[in-house]
Structures are given as structure tokens and as C-alpha cells.
A = this chain, B = another copy of it.
Amino acid sequence: MSPALRAFLDFVEWRPVVEAAARHASSAPGRERVLALCPAPELAEARLRQARTEAARTLLAADLPDFAPLCDLGAAFARGGEEGLGRRELYAAARTVLLGRDARDLCAGLPPLAQLLAGPAPDAGDLEAAGEVLNKIGPHGVVLDGASDRLAELRRALGAARAALAEALRRVCYDPRVAPALAERSPVSLRGQPCLKVRAGEVRRVPGPIVQQERDVLWVEPDAARAAYNQVRHLEVDERAEEARICRQLSTLLWPRREELSALADALAFLDAHLALARYGEALEATAPELLEPGARRLSLRGLRHPLLVAEGRCVPLDLELNGPRTVVVSGPNGGGKSACLKAVGLAVLLAQAGGLVPARAASLPVFASLRAVGPPRAGLEEGRSTFQAHAADLAVALEGVEPGALLLLDEVGTGTDPTEAAALGQAVLEHVLARGATVLATTHLASLKGFAERAEGAVNAAMGVDAAGRPTFALRVGERGGSHALDAAEAQGLPPSVCARARALHAGES
């Protein structure tokens, strides 16, 4: 991933959004696919993903098969080798085969999904093998009694041996020489080893090794139960060996089709991911975006909501309609939502290009060739650089090789230095990006950048609104310049009223 895209994902806080979407997946591999989502850099790929999510959306009302047992079979085969699928993996592989068959039927009328599943289809041999596995292995990888005659016999013998051990222990506990020495009436188990808890002073009344000490209580494994315990342990070892033999045999059965089965599991994981995106979109009341050619001069987001703020129930929808201009200078009050506006737009673009639905009433977006952003600088003595140096370094990364069709989000361009130099730098950056045919949304408090947006061809102002009392409305008004209302914001944060009054007087005198 390029440093510029990494900065973009960090700035818009992509991670919590994909985490929220991933919670709608049914399987672990589906969740992983959602968490790893990145924007498709080309129109065809982005449209294909959208078509798949749209098709998945039509399936949500249907009676879907259970995706939960799906696992990453490619990794399981690579880890285990020919004989080495574990019991849980065998169960997952068998369920994957059946799921592949059901999903194929389900998606038959939905070309974008049918094509996803077309390659790795399970054949009759796979279905037979899956049936054999499921006859022998149950959910959570339990090897069933009927998996072999020997296993059934061992399990019967184990039952009897465990009963004999319990009886032997019961008899020791009621032995008149032992009973008075016991700190607890019933036997206990320490890592499977049967023990009696004996008071320290009377330990010689209970023959057997001391296994552990707890203050004045000693755990003794009673000699009287030793033979029965040995029998149980030997049978357990035999049982495990027989289970392992059965798993090896079933593993060998699936091994020749490992590549097909791994590909099938992979395709089903993607199907689960598209179902998750569809469910997440429904939960957000989101809409399928119209994707335009890279470089298209139209961008329309109506009723756009920030997906994380929607979830918290605090969100004013934004309208952003661009026909021609590619440079938007966003101004407005402190705490009025300028940064949140940039992030909401960035997330809409990411969702659209990643195959997700966009939380808006309607969305038309070009596919952007690259995504770049500059957020609040990370500075400090440890990093050995100042706020402005960090900001300039971030700007350098974002501008590196900026091309037509790129998108830049610049939060407070020129922050942290002399405002006259900041304004000159900001304007030079906007001119540079504009000349290269890229799209840029930049927030600012600097009057001269608002003036530039008014004058320059291809640039436009946009303001976060305030009401009559100067309070933020969080609505975006394209074509307007916004004021910062810093002194109102400062007073709202608890600065002494006398300080704010004096600052207002100074400001009125100066401007």
C-alpha cells in the first residue's frame, strides 16, 4: 500500500468502518475479506464489486445457508499436508462442499455472483467425500462413535473404566482410616489426575504421592485408585490414536481435490463478504453509488451521512454537488464539522470503490485513480520535528506524483506557522493540484484561500453553516464562504468571559 493511501485511510478512519461492516459477515474468512477491503483503482473492477454487492443484497431476504463453518482451507491444507487436516478442518471442508453446492443453486439467477462461483464448483466425488466426513465427524470437530468399530469399542471400554475409577475413589473416601483425614469430602481432579484433599498433619493416613500443596492442605493421588486410573489413561491414549487414524484417512480422501476445495472456500468467503457489505448498507439505509469514468467532472452526494456518526445518532446529512469545479475550499466555524465533512466524503469514495453501499440518498462519483490525504500533523520532541515540519512532510507525501483523476483531502493546509506564509503555501498547493486535473477538498480558516477559491477557474468555496445565533448547523453550503467564529467557540469551551470580551474588542478594532 502506498504511503499516500495509508495516510488517506488513517485520516478518514477507514478501520472502524470496515470493522463495523465486518461484524455483518457470518464466517471468519468473510470477516477477514471485509477487514482487508481496499478501493479498486479501476472502473471495471469497482463496478464488478458493486454488481456483486447489489446481487448479494437481493439474497438477504432469502433463506441463506449457514456460512459460519467456512474456514481458510488453502491455509489448512498447506499447514497439515496430505494426512494432516485436523478434525475441525475436516468438518469445515465437508461443510464448505455442501455450502458450495447450495450457494451455486442460490446464485444461479444472479450473474455477478454465479460467475464468482463458476470456477470452483464441487463435483459428485466431492459431495460423496463430504458425506463420508460428516458421517464420521460432527460439529466442533467431534469424532462420532460410529466412525469405526474400534472407536466404538474403545469408547465403551472407557465408559466402564471411568465408572470403575469413580467407584474406587468413592471407596477410598468412605474408608474409615481415610475419611477423618480428608479436608474435602469428594475427590478432585488436577489436570485429569484424581486426587484427594488431605489435611497436612494427617497425610500419612492416605497412601499415595503428594501432587501439590495449598497452605495446610495436600493433594494426594491415592494408591488405592491407581490401577483404575492407569486403565483410564491407557484407554484415552488408544482413543486419541484411533481418532487420529480416522482423521488421517479422511484427510487423504480430500487431499487430491485440495486446490479446487481451497478455491471454493475462497470464493465463498468473498460471497460472505459481499453479503456483509449488503447487510451493512441496509443497516445504514445506504444506496448503491453510480460510478463514473475516472476524471469525470461530476460528483454528486445527496444526503451524505458519516457512517460512524450515524451509528452514534448524531449526524446532519451533507449535500455536495460538483459539476465542473474540482477544487473545493471548505470554511466555517470551529467545531462546525469541516473535518468530519472531508472524512464523510472520503469514506463515501472508499465504500463506492471497495464495493460497498454509500450512506446517502443518492451518490454519483468518478472512480479516483489515487486517494491522498493530509490530516492533523503528528509532531513532538521524540519525532524530532515541529508541528509544521510534520505537516509539510505529510503534504510532500500527498503531492508526490499527483495525477489527473486523483483525490486529495487537505485538512487545514498550512497549519502551524505564520499565516501569511501558510496562505501562500496553501494557494500554491491548490494551484499545483488544480493544474494536474486532480480533485481536492481543503479546509481552511485563511481568508486569502477563500478569496482564491472565489477567483480561480475550477475552484469553489463551501461553508459549514451557522444559525442566526452563530451556532453551527453542520450543514454544507456550496458557493458560500464561512467564518471561523473562534471567539464564540472559545467561550463555549469555558474561557473566562472577560478574556473573550477583550478578544472581541481587539478583533473588532483590527478587522
Residues of chain A touching chain B, judged by Cβ–Cβ distance below 8 Å, are 13, 193, 200, 203-204, 207-211, 213, 218, 221, 226, 229-230, 233-234, 236-237, 240-241, 306, 308-309, 334-336, 338-340, 343, 376, 379-381, 385-389, 392-393, 395-397, 399, 412, 414-425, 427-429, 431-432, 445-448, 483-484, 486-487, 489-490, 492-496, 498-500, 502-504, 506-507, 510-511
User: Do A234 and B213 have beta carbons less than 8 Å apart?
Assistant: no
Could you say how many copies of this chain the assembly holds? 2
In the complex, chain B residues whose CB is within 8 Å of the CB of A421: 484, 486-487, 503, 507
User: Do the beta carbons of A209 and B229 come within 8 Å of each other?
Assistant: yes
Return the chain B residue nearest A500 by Cβ. B428
The interface centre, meaning the residue of A447, A494, A498 with most chain B CB atoms within 10 A of its CB, is: A494
Q: Which residue of B213, B387, B415, B428 contacts A240 across the interface (Cβ within 8 Å)? A: B213
A419 contacts B446, CB within 8 Å?
yes
| Contacts A334-B388, A334-B389, A420-B447 supplied; 7 other A-B pairs, CB < 8 Å | A193-B211, A218-B237, A395-B495, A396-B493, A412-B416, A417-B484, A420-B511
Nearest CB of B to A204, in Å: 7
Interface of A is mostly: helix
Which B residues are in CB contact (< 8 Å) with A428? 499-500, 502-503, 506
The answer to whether B418 and A447 touch across the interface, beta carbons within 8 angstroms, is yes
Interchain CA distance A485-B421 in the complex, whole Å = 8
Q: In the assembled complex, how far is the CB of residue A152 from the closest CB belonging to chain B, in whole angstroms?
A: 21
List, in ascending order, chain B residues with CB within 8 A of A208's CB.
Answer: 230
Q: How far is the CA of A208 from the CA of B226 in the complex (A)?
A: 8
Residue of B nearest to A504 (CB): B424
Contact B484 A418 (CB under 8 A): yes
Contacts of A502 in B (CB 8 A): 428, 431-432
The 6 closest A-B pairs by CB, nearest first: A418-B484, A396-B494, A419-B419, A421-B486, A392-B493, A424-B507
A223 → chain B, closest Cβ, in Å? 8
Contact assessment for B381 and A13 in the assembled complex, using a CB-CB cutoff below 8 Å: yes
CB-defined contacts of A427 to chain B, threshold 8 Å: 503, 506
A376 to chain B: closest residue by CB: B387
Residues of B within 8 A of A336 (CB): 386
Q: Is the CB of B424 within 8 A of A503?
A: yes
Task: Output the least CB separation between A334 and chain B (Å).
Answer: 4
Return the contact of A499 from the options B229, B241, B429, B494 (Cβ within 8 A).
B429
- B234 and A203 within 8 A (CB): yes
Would B510 and A423 count as touching, CB distance under 8 A? yes
Tell me, in angstroms, the Cα distance from A423 to B419 when the chains sit together: 11
Show 11 residue pairs from A and B whose CB-CB distance is below 8 angstroms, ordered by the A residue.
A204-B234, A209-B233, A210-B233, A334-B386, A334-B388, A335-B388, A417-B484, A420-B507, A420-B511, A423-B510, A425-B487
Complex interface: chain B residues within 8 A of A230 (CB): 207-210
For residue A388, which residues in chain B have a CB less than 8 angstroms away from its CB? 334-335, 484, 486, 489-490
A490 partner, pick from B234, B425, B484, beta carbons under 8 A: B425
Residues of B within 8 A of A392 (CB): 334, 486, 489-490, 492-495
CB A115 to nearest CB in B, in angstroms, measures: 38
Q: How far is the CB of A431 from chain B (nearest CB, A)?
A: 7
CB of A329 to closest CB in B, whole Å: 14
In the assembled complex, which residues on chain B have CB atoms less than 8 Å from the CB atom of A432? 496, 498-499, 502
